[in-house]
Structure 1
Amino acid sequence: MHDIKRLICIIPNNYKIIFFILLAMSIFLSVAEVVGVSIVMPFITLASNPEQIFNNVYSKAIFDYFSFKSSVTFIIYFGFVLVAFYICRIVYTILYNYFLNKFTFNLFNYYTNALFASYIKLPYAEFTKKNTSNLMRIITNETINLSIYIQNLLMIFVEIFTILLLYIVLLTIDWKMTIILTAFIVFMVSVLIFFLRNKIKTEGAKRASIQSDFFKIVDEMFGNFKLLKFIKNNAKVSENFYKTSLMFSEVNILNNVLSNLPKILLENIGFTILVVIVMYVLFKYDDPNFVLPIISVYALALYRILPGVNRILGSYNTILFLSKSLESIHNELSIKYVIEGGDRIEFKKNIVLDNVTFEYTNGKPILNNINLTIHKYDRIAFVGRSGGGKTTLVDLIIGLYMPVEGSILLDGVKLSSNNIQHYRSKIGYIPQSVYLFDGTVGENVSFGYKYDKKKIIDCLKKANIYDFLATKDGINTMVGNGGIQISGGQKQRIGIARALYNDPDILVLDEATSALDENTEEKIMDEIYKISKEKTLLIITHRLTTVSRCNKIYKVNNGDVKLLKDNSSNE
């Protein structure tokens, strides 16, 4: 019941309406199933004993109304009606399955998009706490599992309703035998649920955990592929993957065995029940004309009921196994983060850090009571040892983090969640390691923005890489996953072009040239200083040689910020 509440909570209102329409369709399908079974008995009765047509009030009335010439003609037409009904039922079942699949996979599409949008909008501070392998698992695997979960839930409803209606029909034929039959099947189902429920749910939770490890290992392997080439025989990495793969296989093997157990038991029990019914009917009824129709109806009912019971158990086991998927998606969609707005905020004069203090969740301050002013068109370098806080300081300045105490002001207006998006749109960011996805240079430069060939070429020219690309396929040059098909310097230049694409007011270099040789670094810095004449430039580095042309240099160390150089005319 708790899972049902979770499901209702995360299904959007327009899909709830469709859900209830599908429930109504499933009820009609159940009625059609029962009618299909119920009309078999009168057909077989009349076919085996045509004189019964005139002994039954309803069949005689139909015979007289349509003026059939003989009982054989009546039975033939009855057969045609029966066949037509089954054809209509088949068509309806196909349509129902189409709408069911459309509904569940539209929901899958909704959840994947909702989660993707949620992750994109995550505050940076929250994103750093997340395990990306786990996010990938939820957005790709758990969403499809939830679709399967919903399909199985609807299947349980259809099967239960159908079986209940069939039991009502069987009760009208022989209530004693039907009650005994019901009690026996309910007992068997209860025993199976009692022994299997907790085990399957436990294995389902284990499946989710192991699958997350799967993504993590694969992500680590591809992320460190170059490093792996220097590790002899890669035995440890392969061993970890093998162990995880084996555990995943074992969990699924056990789940499949447990899920198929009811089918194996019920098929054999069903045959036994049918034999008992035949013996009971032969013992109770002396007239052979009654035996065949009754046995036929019970056989047909069991033929429908037992697979239905098996499907209920199978669907129930699947729901238990995938309940962790529902829990994961419910938890992700239920988390309320601070909504970042796009109110306008101007940067025409300065950025002021006013008594800013920042700390991570462990409570230890990284920056203490920082006061700092950045004027427009300043070229500022932040230097210091690794771990001293310079990257954190710049992350605060560019709005990736918000201060715990104090304020950040743009032209006197406080930076807040209401205007943070508009502020960030003024920033071009070049990290130490530029990530290029497996696509063209043009696609990588315009990442996140509308593709504009003219703008792409202009940015590549500013980054001094267009002439090199012209010798290949120009902006259609493929870079490979992670930029593996180009050099480190070329990759950084594409990163610069990407940062310039939206014509930012502020350009940030986060150790952007530290991995390059001195000659390449010098050339790239020349280009950056050239293109940033009408921009505010913030540089994070540990090399003083790269910041000689900055008008201000700050040293960041253990939460303190000290001004080392100030050639600014603004102060």
Structure 2
Amino acid sequence: MIYRHLLNLTLIHKIKVGKLVILNFLIPPLELSLLGLVFLILTASKVPEIPEFFNDYISIVPTLIQYILILAILTFALVLFWAFLRIYRTRIQAFTRYNIYSEQANQISETYFNIPGDAELSEKNEEIANLIIHLSGGASALYMAWIGFLSAVFGVIVLATTVLLSSFTLGIIASIIGLFSVFINFKNFSQMQSIGQTKIATHEQVLFEVNQNIRSFQLIKFDNLISHITNKLKLVIQKDWQWRVDKRRAVEKIKVLSDSFGILSLLIIITTSSIFLKIPAEQLVILLLIFNRLRSYFSEAQTHWVNIREHKPATIELLSSLSRFVKYSTIDNAAISNLHRIELKNVGFSYSDTPIIKSVSALITKGDRILLKGPSGEGKSTLLKLITGYYQPTTGQIIFNNLQKQKPDIQSIVGGIFYSANDMYMPNIPLREIVDPLNILTQNQLEKILKNVCLYDLLNEPKILNESVGDNGSYLSLGQRQRLFLSRIYLMEPSMVILDEATSNLDSDTENEVLKNLMDHVGEEAIIIFASHHTPSHFTFNKAFTVSSGTVIQEKITSKKESFIDI
């Protein structure tokens, strides 16, 4: 699964990855060219053929000093070119990594918000936040670590081959020492994957604890839970501290061992070449410079391998979540632009094997005005979400607009429904953005909408429209909060309106005015379902149902229309 994902990323970013491949193939040979020029400078006084060499190509034969200066200038130019290529490679790596991160984060967001509402019940908010914030970055880090690892390995191969051709004995000694350092670090490499798994779990726990306790500020203050909560947070922060320390220790151990073996290899090479091989000083200097670059590439390879081990669990978790989200979604066929008929056939819904709705059958048609009553926690909200297509039934069937064989496009159904519930979460954004999220209304249109939902007090304070509403609308009164949610309907032309305790905090006169304006806006053909503990005055219903313990009972209302309910 991971390697298929890496291949897909390579195909998506083939241009930038192609540039990285070319640069990674250029830089090691370029380094050898630099060392070759240095070698020519060191041996310039020992090469008598220089005048003859230049005499074959140019009429002016340089002196020894001029020859060395020419080589030095070429070396300097090549160093600048080498530095430019490395900077350019770093830039491409940064852009590629964060492009991948943003794409992964966007893919998670888009896929998550397309899952059915009932699937969202089994997802934890902190896990989704962790997927977007941390694990998407982990997947991009893994991809770039693989590119870095392969590039470093290529550098090791190029330089090691050069050493072997120059001095086979020294090359073998260096290779044995390098491989031995990898063997010594093997345990530390394995530890990094375990640290990566701990990192995922700890991030989720930190997000959960911090988010929950910040939102519970009033409860903590009034119940004097400050000491208890801070102690809980200390424990979570300690876990977060622990994996960071473990990571730093493991990385440092790998680095120290790698550097130690690198220095040891240089010592062995110098001793061996001085005592046994009798290598000329100039050649030995170049070999030491090559060994130094070889050690750098070898260290890079180990560092990237550490990153691969660390970020592998995050990538597995990310791909597993994406796969799960895709499985949640259904194959949608028929788009429904105007909802005029909904039929429930023996519909049941369970959550965690607990039945919430039990074998409900009902018919809802154009122009219905339905009152849904019942105590809290008996299944009213669940039934409404089933009717909208937000939840998918566990048993039975819901047929929209007589589409019995084709699966409907659930998103198109939701697009024709206005839904407002007392327990909906209100984000902490400017008030204007809740009424007009796409910023398409003029000031006059905005004021008209606020009048329709009786928010006259907000019209008297124009500045308040650009101020945040607080977490879950905490800066508003409960009645203002409900009316602000209802204002959203004036940006829509819904064929069905669902009001789930949507006016429970309004006084009778305000409720009547708000509902009258709402009725004028949607027209007589729209389906309206009103769930409430009370029956609003001045509002006529043609059907009424009571929900109790997941079953639905029809109440008798004098009406020209008929409906059926099966228990």
TM-score normalised to the size of structure 2? 0.90
Residue-by-residue CA offset, 1:433-488 (whole Å, 9 max, x unaligned)? 343323322211233x4532354333222111145333332643432332222211
SS at match of 1:130: coil
Q: Give aligned-pair identity as a percent.
A: 19
Contact 1:6–1:327 (CA under 8 A) maintained in structure 2: no
1:524 and 1:340 mapped to 2: Cα distance? 41
Verify: 1:185 aligned to 2:178, yes or no.
Answer: yes
Verify: 1:176 aligned to 2:169, yes or no.
Answer: yes
- Counterpart mapping for 1:60-459 below 5 A: 61-62=53-54, 64-66=56-58, 67-193=60-186, 195-284=187-276, 291-335=280-324, 336-337=326-327, 338-339=329-330, 341=332, 343-345=334-336, 347=338, 349-353=340-344, 355-360=345-350, 362-414=352-404, 417-447=407-437, 449=438, 451-453=440-442, 455-459=445-449
Residues 69 and 421 from structure 1, CA distance in 2 versus in 1: closer, same or farther, beyond 3 angstroms? closer
1:190 and 1:60 mapped to 2: Cα distance? 52
Farther off after superposition, 338-347 or 298-307: 338-347
Contact 1:138–1:329 (CA under 8 A) maintained in structure 2: yes
Residues 304 and 179 from structure 1, CA distance in 2 versus in 1: closer, same or farther, beyond 3 angstroms? same
Contact 1:409–1:415 (CA under 8 A) maintained in structure 2: no
2:152 and 2:337 mapped to 1: Cα distance? 62
Residues 82 and 472 from structure 1, CA distance in 2 versus in 1: closer, same or farther, beyond 3 angstroms? same
Alpha-carbon shift at residue 34 of structure 1 (Å):
2.9
Alpha-carbon shift at residue 307 of structure 1 (Å):
2.4
Which amino acid counterpart does residue 224 of structure 2 have in structure 1? K
Contact 2:356–2:549 (CA under 8 A) maintained in structure 1: yes
Aligned residues: 554
Residues 472 and 292 from structure 1, CA distance in 2 versus in 1: closer, same or farther, beyond 3 angstroms? same
Farther off after superposition, 333-342 or 299-308: 333-342
1:145 and 1:76 mapped to 2: Cα distance? 49
Alpha-carbon shift at residue 180 of structure 1 (Å):
1.3
Which amino acid counterpart does residue 392 of structure 1 have in structure 2? T
Which residue matches 1:559?
550
Residues 279 and 403 from structure 1, CA distance in 2 versus in 1: closer, same or farther, beyond 3 angstroms? closer
Residues 317 and 492 from structure 1, CA distance in 2 versus in 1: closer, same or farther, beyond 3 angstroms? same
Farther off after superposition, 28-37 or 12-21: 12-21
SS at match of 1:65: coil
Which residue matches 1:523?
510
Alpha-carbon shift at residue 545 of structure 1 (Å):
6.2
Residues 262 and 370 from structure 1, CA distance in 2 versus in 1: closer, same or farther, beyond 3 angstroms? closer
Contact 1:346–1:410 (CA under 8 A) maintained in structure 2: no
Name stretches of at least 5 consecutive residues in structure 2 with no aligned partner.
563-567
1:12 and 1:368 mapped to 2: Cα distance? 50
Residue-by-residue CA offset, 1:380-423 (whole Å, 9 max, x unaligned)? 12111233222221111111123344443444344964332222
2:519 and 2:406 mapped to 1: Cα distance? 27
2:231 and 2:360 mapped to 1: Cα distance? 49
Alpha-carbon shift at residue 504 of structure 1 (Å):
1.8
Verify: 1:509 aligned to 2:499, yes or no.
Answer: yes
Which residue matches 2:462?
472
Alpha-carbon shift at residue 92 of structure 1 (Å):
1.1
Q: 1:27 aligns with which of 1, 5, 25?
A: 25
Residues 75 and 400 from structure 1, CA distance in 2 versus in 1: closer, same or farther, beyond 3 angstroms? same
Residue-by-residue CA offset, 1:253-296 (whole Å, 9 max, x unaligned)? 1111111212222333333332333333332466xxx5321221
Residues 269 and 216 from structure 1, CA distance in 2 versus in 1: closer, same or farther, beyond 3 angstroms? same
Contact 2:368–2:542 (CA under 8 A) maintained in structure 1: yes
Alpha-carbon shift at residue 41 of structure 1 (Å):
2.4
1:17 and 1:521 mapped to 2: Cα distance? 65
Contact 1:440–1:479 (CA under 8 A) maintained in structure 2: yes
Contact 1:155–1:315 (CA under 8 A) maintained in structure 2: yes
2:449 and 2:405 mapped to 1: Cα distance? 29
Residues 362 and 468 from structure 1, CA distance in 2 versus in 1: closer, same or farther, beyond 3 angstroms? closer
1:486 and 1:570 mapped to 2: Cα distance? 40
SS at match of 1:367: strand
Residue-by-residue CA offset, 1:344-381 (whole Å, 9 max, x unaligned)? 4365754332x232222544543333222223333212
2:262 and 2:293 mapped to 1: Cα distance? 11
Which amino acid counterpart does residue 51 of structure 1 have in structure 2? K
2:321 and 2:54 mapped to 1: Cα distance? 61
TM-score normalised to the size of structure 1? 0.89
Which amino acid counterpart does residue 460 of structure 1 have in structure 2? L
Farther off after superposition, 549-558 or 411-420: 411-420
Residue-by-residue CA offset, 1:156-193 (whole Å, 9 max, x unaligned)? 11211111111111112211121012111111212212
1:434 and 1:333 mapped to 2: Cα distance? 26
Residues 342 and 221 from structure 1, CA distance in 2 versus in 1: closer, same or farther, beyond 3 angstroms? farther
Contact 1:68–1:74 (CA under 8 A) maintained in structure 2: no
2:407 and 2:545 mapped to 1: Cα distance? 27
SS at match of 2:398: strand
Residues 537 and 285 from structure 1, CA distance in 2 versus in 1: closer, same or farther, beyond 3 angstroms? closer
1:442 and 1:341 mapped to 2: Cα distance? 34
Residues 507 and 172 from structure 1, CA distance in 2 versus in 1: closer, same or farther, beyond 3 angstroms? same
Which amino acid counterpart does residue 444 of structure 1 have in structure 2? I
SS at match of 2:13: helix
Contact 1:260–1:314 (CA under 8 A) maintained in structure 2: no
Contact 1:33–1:162 (CA under 8 A) maintained in structure 2: no
Alpha-carbon shift at residue 101 of structure 1 (Å):
1.4
SS at match of 2:560: coil
Contact 1:381–1:547 (CA under 8 A) maintained in structure 2: no
1:375 and 1:200 mapped to 2: Cα distance? 60
SS at match of 1:232: coil
Query: CA RMSD for the aligned pairs?
Result: 2.6
Alpha-carbon shift at residue 503 of structure 1 (Å):
2.7
Residues 398 and 181 from structure 1, CA distance in 2 versus in 1: closer, same or farther, beyond 3 angstroms? same
1:446 and 1:471 mapped to 2: Cα distance? 17
Alpha-carbon shift at residue 203 of structure 1 (Å):
1.3
